[in-house]
Structure 1
Amino acid sequence: MKISNRFTIAVHILSLINVRSDHLTSQQIANSVNINAGYIRQISGLLKKAEFIGIKRGSGGAYLLKAPTSISLYDVYKAVDVVMEGELFHWHEDPNPNCWIGSNIQEILDIFLLKAQQAMEGVLREVSIQEITELIIKKEKASTEA
């Protein structure tokens, strides 16, 4: 199962807002993400609900409410994806209960899949929006210097 693109788009939005000194409209953000402004407003609403951004209606635009160093990728992941613990992986619905593999696979595999989800979430906890932004800036500077 793929994690919804809301996560990567939300990281894009927060990174863009972080590097811009002015407030950004949903259309300006949509131009960077290259996606419909309505979808940007939907994701921005989730980021606002999580209290990461403020939004001034009209031409006011979006701005950060928290320091980018205090917003982890895990925080963003939880704010927009709502993947509950142990639910990252999706099971096929009806394994054969009369088969000794089918009747036991889910219970056994769940142990390892939960560990995998916890490991991924641990990595996301360690990275902030500020770190993402700094890496993007370094990459841009390296590409313009070459």
Structure 2
Amino acid sequence: MAQPTNTQFAVGVHLLTLLAGSPGKWRDSQSLAVSPATNPAHARRILGQLRTAGLVRSQPGPRGGWMLEHDAERIDLAMVWLALNGEDPVLGMHAPQPDCPAGRRVHRSLLALDRRARRALLSELARTTVADVLRDTASAVDVD
């Protein structure tokens, strides 16, 4: 099975779910990185983007770490997608040969399709919160 090249969204949701499982507690990137099988620096990069979007907060120092900025019920997965992907296309796009009329038309068509796919994706992701993911996983595993 083909693997996606960008796993930031999945790792981001994973990290947020771990934070949601420890409400009011600071979690360091070293311990957070274990469950999604990533390294602490990668976890910090993703958490930094989530902080910029206002989804998490951080505190430096030995008693610091990361914590959700809002209740997990208020953070939907569309917010996470947008924080980590911004306005990037959902579909893999390429630039056609500029002098090729067919290439330009195909490109315009794919751009329109990408906008529709993005709306559908964000609509679906908005239906699920981090709290929903935590509930789905809490019965199967300990998220702490």
Shorter-chain TM-score above 0.5: yes
Matched, 1:44 2:47: yes
1:103 Cα offset (Å): 4.4
Give the aligned partner of residue 31 of structure 1: 34
Deviations along 1:62-87, whole A, 9 cap, x unmatched?
11120101101010111122234xx2
Give the aligned partner of residue 72 of structure 1: 76
Equivalent residue letter for 1:26: S
Equivalent residue letter for 1:13: L
Runs of 5+ consecutive residues of structure 2 not aligned to the other structure = none
Runs of 5+ consecutive residues of structure 1 not aligned to the other structure = 142-146
Following the alignment from structure 1 to structure 2, what is the Cα–Cα distance between the partners of residues 50 and 68?
A: 15
Following the alignment from structure 1 to structure 2, what is the Cα–Cα distance between the partners of residues 11 and 122?
A: 17
**Larger Rg belongs to:** 1
Distance 1:45 1:102, change over 3 A: closer
Equivalent residue letter for 2:80: V
Number of equivalences? 137
| Alignment map for 1:67-146 (pairs within 5 Å) | 67-84=71-88, 87-95=89-97, 97-98=99-100, 101-140=102-141
Equivalent residue of 2:94, what SS? coil
Decide whether the 8 Å contact of 1:3 with 1:81 is kept in 2: no
The CA RMSD over aligned residues, in Å, is 2.2
Higher helix share: 1
TM-score by length of 2: 0.81
TM-score by length of 1: 0.80
Structure 1 stretches of at least 4 aligned residues deviating more than 4 Å after TM superposition: 95-98
1:19 Cα offset (Å): 0.6
